[in-house]
Amino acid sequence: MVASLSSSYTRSSFEMHPTAPTSATASERSLLRASQNADDGFVDEPLQSEEKGDRRLMFRLGLSFFLFGLVNNVLYVIILSAALDLVPPSTPKGIIAFCNIAPALVAKVGWPYVLKGKIRYEKRLMGCCLLSAFGMLVVAFFDSLFMRLLGISLASFSSGLGELTFLQLSTTYAPPPVAGHSVGYFASGTGAAGLVGAFLWWEVRGLGVRIGVGLSSLMPFIIPLSYYFLLPTPSTFLQSGAAYEDFSTAVATSMPYTPLPTAEDQLPGEEEGSLGVVPKRSVALSATDKWRLVRPLLVRYMLPLFCVYMFEYTINQGIAPTLLYPVPTPEEHAFLSKIIHSVRDYYPLWQLVYQTTVFLSRSSISIGVPPLPAKLLPLPAIIQAFILAILAFESAVGIFPSGPSGTDFEAWSITIVFLLISLEGICGGSAYVNVFYRINQETPSPDTAHDIERTRQEREFKIGSVGFADSSGILFAAILAVPTEVALCRQQVSRGKLLCKGL
């Protein structure tokens, strides 16, 4: 797949730049010959070998970004899964959720909007790795509530900064299908973190907080190992100095052909992950530049993502804990009785269903499902709003009759809740991966396309600036969830359903 993309991309670059063959690298000449051979109807052995190499490169790229997403988010899930073990029984568990999301929101708002200039990816990733590991060690080795909340906050800040950084790193790859490949697998990794984190804590919780959380502090070191030893460099995929296929012909023809420097001959001051030869002059986006870039993104990307996450986490934290039913008996519900053994089993079941469908939907692009058209990006948020309304009605009033006369309908109620929570996870995961995929694939502005470093910084800022939308949605949901849960439980009690009082 990459061979064909690279061949067509390289050939178009040669056609647009007549002087290119005089300075073409051996790899570029090989790709040109391979594409010409394919047009003549035969494929030689070097091309087959090249295609295998390209598949290996794409595999390494996808695996690297999958690991980035998995490791960066898994600590967040472990902290939430371990909440009951980390704070005294008298402490509201919501404080864990707050400390686990608020610092990440600060990182996502602060870094793209405040800092200027080039991103030093190596320094950022090493900083995130060390900060995450240190935060988890603080949680593990200190028993006081203050120190544990401090450790959670440090790990949260690192996770938010890490997510921002990996999304920005995906924009340094070209042509666009390669960049889309990287962001698709990163989203898949973040989805897998929900399942892996919950499973890991289930397995190590018997060792206690000190050993269990202490062992998890080793996981962040997978990130620098993957970055240095597994991740291919952007120049491996890009064969032309024209960084994007979708430049207008006028812009592309105005740019001189320049082969990408290798790791050994990078220009002084050039940052890792560069898309091309970086000008020696300094480039930094001003506040005016950033506002100009972010303004079109507010309604197109940020609002749908904010709404999806606000609805989603209001369901998870405020409504799902009240979706309780009597324990099914083997005589009446043979299948359900094997899954549900007590009323407390319902909430973990809803979370398992949610996390599984989030993982599947966040993996949609990486497994070949076409991305949503840009016009349909608000659709998951609209569906999510209907899901919230239906589940709230089921919790407060009940879609089917309750009590002894409605016993036969309990299985139907559970089935409907199961399907709606599955759809909730699909909408949430789909919104995440499609929003960031669409931003990743946006073409540069023709006004700045001639300046590769400025174009690079604009792409990094745009994808980074959207990151706070999901975190702010989660934070708003945490505020809404508490009164929502209390109100729904009171409503259930008023109609004689007392299950929520027994938890």
What CA–CA distance (Å, rounded) separates 477 from 480? 5
- Look at residue 236 in the predicted model and tell me its pLDDT: 82
The reported pTM is: 0.79
Q: Sorting pLDDT into bands at 50, 70 and 90, what band is 49?
A: low
Cα four-point dihedral sign 243, 247, 251, 254: positive
Q: Does residue 302 register a pLDDT over 90?
A: yes
- Look at residue 385 in the predicted model and tell me its pLDDT: 96
Copy the structure tokens of residue 237.
Answer: 């995929």
Considering 38-42, 209-213, 302-306, the range whose residues carry the highest mean pLDDT is 302-306
Residue where the block lists tokens 């240095």 = 228
Count CA within 13 A, CB hemisphere, residue 138: 19
Q: Describe the crossing of helices 176-204 and 410-440 by its angle, rounded to 10 degrees.
A: 140
Candidate from 21-35, 129-143, 151-165, 342-356 with smallest mean pLDDT: 21-35
User: What are the distances in angstroms from CA 462 to CA 145, 246, 386, 430, 446?
Assistant: 38, 17, 30, 20, 16
- Look at residue 3 in the predicted model and tell me its pLDDT: 47
What CA–CA distance (Å, rounded) separates 463 from 164? 8
pLDDT above 70 covers a percentage of the chain that reads 77
- Look at residue 114 in the predicted model and tell me its pLDDT: 80
Enclosing H/E stretch for 265: none
- Look at residue 401 in the predicted model and tell me its pLDDT: 64
User: What are the distances in angstroms from CA 262 to CA 30, 118, 168, 277?
Assistant: 17, 19, 21, 10
What is the average per-residue pLDDT within 53-78?
A: 89
Please indicate whether residue 117 or residue 474 has the higher confidence score (pLDDT).
474
What CA–CA distance (Å, rounded) separates 196 from 202? 10
Enclosing H/E stretch for 231: none
Q: Does residue 39 register a pLDDT over 70?
A: no
Phi-psi region of 208 (alpha: psi -120 to 50; beta: other; left: phi over 0): left
Three state DSSP letters for 91-139? CCCHHHHHHHHHHHHHHHHHHHHHCCCCCCHHHHHHHHHHHHHHHHHHH
What is the average per-residue pLDDT within 439-461?
A: 82
What is the average per-residue pLDDT within 62-90?
A: 82
How many H helices and E strands in the chain?
22, 0
What CA–CA distance (Å, rounded) separates 7 from 38? 10
Enclosing H/E stretch for 327: none
- Look at residue 89 in the predicted model and tell me its pLDDT: 63
Average pLDDT, the chain: 78
Count CA within 13 A, CB hemisphere, residue 273: 24
Considering 213-217, 427-431, 484-488, the range whose residues carry the highest mean pLDDT is 427-431
Listed in sequence order, the residues at least 6 apart from 18 whose beta carbon sits closer than 8 Å to its beta carbon are none
Copy the structure tokens of residue 328.
Answer: 């099914």
Bond preceding residue 175 cis, omega within 30 of 0: yes
Candidate from 88-92, 140-144, 386-390 with smallest mean pLDDT: 88-92
What CA–CA distance (Å, rounded) separates 196 from 185? 16
Please indicate whether residue 449 or residue 249 has the higher confidence score (pLDDT).
449
pLDDT digits (tens, 9 = 90+) for 374-428: 899 999 999 999 999 999 999 988 887 665 544 556 778 888 999 999 999 999 9
Listed in sequence order, the residues at least 6 apart from 304 whose beta carbon sits closer than 8 Å to its beta carbon are 377, 378, 380, 381, 431, 435
Q: Does residue 251 register a pLDDT over 60?
A: no
Cα four-point dihedral sign 24, 28, 30, 35: negative
What CA–CA distance (Å, rounded) separates 211 from 217? 10
Listed in sequence order, the residues at least 6 apart from 222 whose beta carbon sits closer than 8 Å to its beta carbon are 67, 71
What is the average per-residue pLDDT within 457-485?
A: 87
Return the ∠ at Cα 275 (arms to 50 and 245), rounded to 5°.
70
Q: Are 486 and 322 in contact (CB under 8 A)?
A: no
Round the CA-based radius of gyration of the chain to a whole number and report it. Answer: 25
Candidate from 41-50, 388-397, 427-436 with smallest mean pLDDT: 41-50
- Look at residue 475 in the predicted model and tell me its pLDDT: 87
Please indicate whether residue 326 or residue 41 has the higher confidence score (pLDDT).
326
What is the average per-residue pLDDT within 284-304?
A: 88
Q: Sorting pLDDT into bands at 50, 70 and 90, what band is 486?
A: confident
